[in-house]
C-alpha cells in the first residue's frame, strides 16, 4: 500500500544528561555537519553516475545544504531541512535516500547497500565519513537517527553500537563498486521507453515509486516533473500479487546494459486484458522490453495489444479455430492460421491498423490488404470459420 507521507525534514535526537532541557552543545553540531558531508559525497557519486566521464560541477557539493528547522521544546530533538537547489535537487534526493539506507544497514544486520562510487578516493571518503557519525558521544549518550521520516523507527548510535558499525563499514570491501566495475561513459544509457509491471509502493513526498516487473525485479521510479501522476499511481498501487498491471512510460535508465530506474516518468497507464489464455498471452507481450528478440525489436505498442484483444474476442464469439499469436519485431501482434489448406493472418501494427494476408496451398501468390477499420479486420477473422 502507499507509504506514509512524511515531512521533508531529517530528525536527529540526542539523548543523555548533557542534552536535557533542549541543550545542544556546540561541539555536538559536528554530528550534523558530518551527516551533511556524507550526503554531499553521495550526491557527487549520483551525479557521476548520471554523467560518467564529465567533470563534476564546482558548486555541486556546496549545493547540498542543511539548516536547523527547529528544535523540539524540552529536548535536543533536532529537525533539519534541506535547502533545495533546483539544478541539483534530483541528485540531492537520491543521495539522501542512499545515505539513509547505509546508516540503517550499518547499525543492523541488514546487508550493506552497494553504491555507485566512481573512484576509490570518493568511496573511501564516503565510507569513512559515515563511520565517523556519533564520534563525539560519551558514555550514557546516544544519537537517534530517523532514516525513514520523523516518526519512523530510529537507528540508535552509541559508543557501544558504533563499534560494530565502524567495523562493518571499514572492513567490507564491496560496500562500494570495486574498481573493475567502475562505470564507463557508455555504461549509462537513457531512453524514452515503457515497462509493464505492478506499482507496489509510493512515496508522495519524494515523488518516487517502486515497480515490480514480471521477472520479480524491483525497479525505482521518479515523477518530480509530473506531480499530477500521483493520483494515477494511487489508483494502481497495491501488492505485487494483487495490483493491476500498469504501463509506465518515461526516461528509463540502463546501467551496464541492465534496467536501472525511471529517472523521470511521463505517463501511467493501467493495462487490462481479459481473464483468459489470450489475456495471459497478451500480458506476456506487454511486459517485453526493447530488444526482446536479442536484437533491435521494438516494444509491443499498447494500441496493437488492444486491437489484438478485440480480434481474439471475435475469434471466441465466432467459434473460429484458434490462431497462433506472436509478437512482431516492429511492435505489433500477429494472429496466424496455418493448415494444409493454406495460410491466413492478421497483423495488428504498432499504430493500431491491420494488415491481412491469405494464401491457398499450392498457389505461389497470396492476397494482401490493409485497413484501419476494426470491423473489416473482424470480418476477415470471422471468415476463417467458413
Q: In total, how many domains does the chain have? A: 3
Identify whether residues 123 and 202 lie together within a single domain.
Answer: no
pLDDT bin (cut points 50, 70, 90) of residue 320 is confident
Residue 157: per-residue pLDDT: 94
Lowest mean pLDDT among 98-112, 125-139, 160-174, 227-241: 160-174
Please state, in angstroms and rounded to a whole number, the distance separating the CA atoms of residues 27 and 47. Answer: 32
Residue 200: per-residue pLDDT: 92
pLDDT bin (cut points 50, 70, 90) of residue 175 is very low
Q: In terms of C-beta density within 10 A (0-12 exposed, 13-18 middle, 19 or more buried), how is residue 224 classed? A: middle
* Mean pLDDT within 92-114: 80
pLDDT bin (cut points 50, 70, 90) of residue 188 is low
Identify whether residues 208 and 100 lie together within a single domain.
Answer: no
Identify whether residues 217 and 159 lie together within a single domain.
Answer: no
Identify whether residues 14 and 141 lie together within a single domain.
Answer: yes
Please say which residue of 179, 204, 226 terminates a domain. 179
**Range of 263's domain?**
188-272
* Mean pLDDT within 284-297: 86
Domain for residue 42, yes or no?
yes
214 pLDDT higher than 60 = yes
pLDDT bin (cut points 50, 70, 90) of residue 386 is low
Domain for residue 321, yes or no?
yes
Residue 304: per-residue pLDDT: 93
Domain for residue 165, yes or no?
yes
Domain for residue 97, yes or no?
yes
Other CB atoms within a 10 A radius of the CB of residue 87 amount to 11
**What CATH number should be reported for the domain holding residue 237?**
2.40.50.200
Residue 1: per-residue pLDDT: 38
Three-class HEC string of the chain:
CCCCCCCCEEEEEEECHHHHHHCCCHHHHHHHHHHHHHHHHHHHHHHHHHCCCCCCCCCHHHHCEEEEEEEECCCEEEEEEEECCHHHHHHHHHHHHHHHHHHHHHCCCCCCCCECCCCHHHHHHHHHHHHHCCCCCCCCCEEEECCCCCCCCCEEECHHHHHHHHHHHHHCHHHECCHHHCCCCCCEEEEEEEEEEEEEEEECCCCEEEEEECCCCEEEEECCCCCCHHHHHHHHCCCCCCCCCEEEEEEEEEECCEEEEEEEEEEEEECCCCCCHHHHHHHHHHCCCCCCCCCCCCCCCHHHHHHHHHHHHHHHHHCCCCCEEEECCCCCEEEEEEECCEEEEEEECCCCCEEEEEEECCCCCCEEEEECCHHHHHHHHHCCCC
Identify whether residues 231 and 335 lie together within a single domain.
Answer: no
Lowest mean pLDDT among 5-14, 69-78, 233-242, 310-319: 5-14
Please say which residue of 158, 179, 200 terminates a domain. 179
Identify whether residues 265 and 307 lie together within a single domain.
Answer: no
Return the C-alpha cell found at 5.
Answer: 507521507
Please state, in angstroms and rounded to a whole number, the distance separating the CA atoms of residues 82 and 142. Answer: 23
More confident residue, 41 or 52: 41
173 pLDDT higher than 80 = no
Residue 125: per-residue pLDDT: 81
Domain for residue 278, yes or no?
no
Please state, in angstroms and rounded to a whole number, the distance separating the CA atoms of residues 267 and 356. Answer: 32
Domain for residue 289, yes or no?
no
**Mean of pLDDT over the chain:** 83
pLDDT bin (cut points 50, 70, 90) of residue 266 is very high
Residue 116: per-residue pLDDT: 53
Please say which residue of 149, 179, 209 terminates a domain. 179
Task: Quote the pTM value.
Answer: 0.55
Lowest mean pLDDT among 102-106, 184-188, 322-326: 184-188
Lowest mean pLDDT among 91-95, 157-161, 348-352: 91-95
Identify whether residues 16 and 76 lie together within a single domain.
Answer: yes
Domain for residue 283, yes or no?
no
Domain for residue 294, yes or no?
no
- Write the pLDDT tens digit of every residue in 219-241: 889 888 888 999 999 999 986 66
Identify whether residues 169 and 193 lie together within a single domain.
Answer: no
Q: In terms of C-beta density within 10 A (0-12 exposed, 13-18 middle, 19 or more buried), how is residue 179 classed? A: exposed
Please state, in angstroms and rounded to a whole number, the distance separating the CA atoms of residues 292 and 329. Answer: 9
Identify whether residues 307 and 255 lie together within a single domain.
Answer: no
Identify whether residues 48 and 172 lie together within a single domain.
Answer: yes
- Write the pLDDT tens digit of every residue in 151-161: 888 999 999 99
Identify whether residues 163 and 195 lie together within a single domain.
Answer: no
Identify whether residues 101 and 247 lie together within a single domain.
Answer: no
Percent of the chain at pLDDT above 70? 88
Amino acid at each position: 500500500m502507499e507509504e506514509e507521507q512524511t515531512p521533508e525534514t531529517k530528525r536527529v535526537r540526542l539523548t543523555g544528561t548533557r542534552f536535557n532541557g533542549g541543550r545542544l552543545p556546540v561541539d555536538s553540531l559536528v554530528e550534523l555537519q558530518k551527516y551533511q558531508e556524507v550526503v554531499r559525497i553521495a550526491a557527487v557519486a549520483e551525479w557521476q553516475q548520471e554523467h560518467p566521464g564529465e567533470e563534476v560541477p564546482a558548486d555541486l557539493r556546496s549545493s547540498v545544504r542543511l539548516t536547523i528547522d527547529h528544535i523540539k521544546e524540552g529536548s535536543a530533538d533536532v529537525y533539519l531541512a534541506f535547502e533545495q537547489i533546483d539544478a541539483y535537487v534530483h541528485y540531492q534526493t537520491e543521495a539522501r535516500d542512499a545515505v539513509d539506507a547505509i546508516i540503517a544497514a550499518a547499525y543492523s544486520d541488514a546487508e550493506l547497500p552497494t553504491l555507485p562510487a566512481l573512484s576509490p578516493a570518493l568511496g573511501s571518503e564516503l565510507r569513512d565519513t559515515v563511520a565517523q557519525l556519533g564520534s563525539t558521544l560519551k558514555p550514557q549518550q546516544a544519537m537517534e537517527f530517523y532514516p525513514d521520516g520523523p516518526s519512523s523507527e530510529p537507528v540508535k548510535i552509541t559508543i557501544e553500537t558504533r563499534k560494530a558499525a565502524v567495523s562493518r563499514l571499514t572492513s567490507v570491501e564491496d560496500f562500494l563498486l570495486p574498481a573493475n566495475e567502475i562505470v564507463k561513459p557508455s555504461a549509462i544509457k537513457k531512453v524514452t521507453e515503457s515497462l509493464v509491471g505492478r506499482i507496489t509502493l509510493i512515496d508522495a513526498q519524494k515523488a518516487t515509486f517502486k515497480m515490480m516487473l514480471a521477472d520479480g525485479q524491483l525497479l525505482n521510479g521518479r515523477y518530480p516533473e509530473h506531480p499530477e501522476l500521483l493520483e494515477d499511481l494511487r489508483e494502481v498501487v497495491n501488492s505485487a500479487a494483487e495490483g493491476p498491471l500498469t504501463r509506465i512510460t518515461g526516461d528509463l535508465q540502463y546501467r551496464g546494459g541492465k534496467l536501472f530506474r525511471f529517472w523521470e516518468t511521463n505517463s501511467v497507464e493501467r493495462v487490462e486484458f481479459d481473464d483468459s489464455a489470450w489475456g495471459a498471452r497478451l500480458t506476456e507481450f506487454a511486459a517485453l522490453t526493447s530488444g526482446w528478440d536479442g536484437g533491435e525489436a521494438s516494444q509491443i505498442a499498447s494500441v496493437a495489444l488492444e486491437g489484438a484483444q478485440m480480434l481474439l474476442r471475435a475469434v471466441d464469439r465466432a467459434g473460429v479455430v484458434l490462431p497462433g499469436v506472436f509478437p512482431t519485431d516492429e511492435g505489433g501482434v500477429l494472429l496466424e492460421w496455418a493448415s494444409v489448406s493454406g495460410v491466413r493472418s492478421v497483423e495488428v501494427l504498432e499504430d493500431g491498423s491491420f494488415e491481412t494476408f491469405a494464401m491457398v496451398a499450392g498457389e505461389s501468390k497470396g492476397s494482401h490488404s490493409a485497413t484501419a477499420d476494426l470491423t473489416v479486420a473482424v470480418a476477415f477473422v470471422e471468415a476463417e470459420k467458413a
